Amino acid sequence: MKLKVEQPVAVVCTFVWIGFVCSISFLEAWLKFRAPGVTLPIGLGIGRLVFAALNKVEWVLALGILISISTKPTLIALKDKLPFVITIVFLTIQTAWLLPALDARAEMHINGENVTPSNLHIYYVIAEAIKISALFYFGIKLFKKY
């Protein structure tokens, strides 16, 4: 069996996106707090910068995919575009709600304020897992058998 890629930009953007999210959300995010000398305020400050940058990179990659699949929309079946739509929905939720809420909580921690427990990190991790799963399925569907 041979595979053909008719949307190379979409394929590259999809798998680079998966790599970014896995590297940052599932490795860097918790690992930085284990480094010597990294206090909670310092780690939160770093996290705020890194996740703001990741969010911008994700939107650039999403735009790259959207432009790529829009140039030849008939190459990908509508049902195979659904995982990309799901990814965009969760990215929008993260951008509009989760990241600002987590950023505000981090700012409170950094300023020494008392912060009540929250499930926002759990929601964020769940959203990341859904995004990665949907992106992976979408990326696989970009390969055509011939």
pLDDT at position 1 is: 80
Contact (Cβ atoms closer than 8 angstroms) between residue 35 and residue 47: no
* Stretch 39-58: mean pLDDT: 97
132, 139 in Cβ contact below 8 A?
no
Q: Tell me what percent of the residues of the chain surpass a pLDDT of 70.
A: 100
Record the pTM.
0.95
Contact 102, 123 (CB under 8 A): no
**Taking the CB of residue 39, how many other CB atoms lie within 10 A of it?**
10
Confidence band, pLDDT 50/70/90 cuts, at residue 75: confident
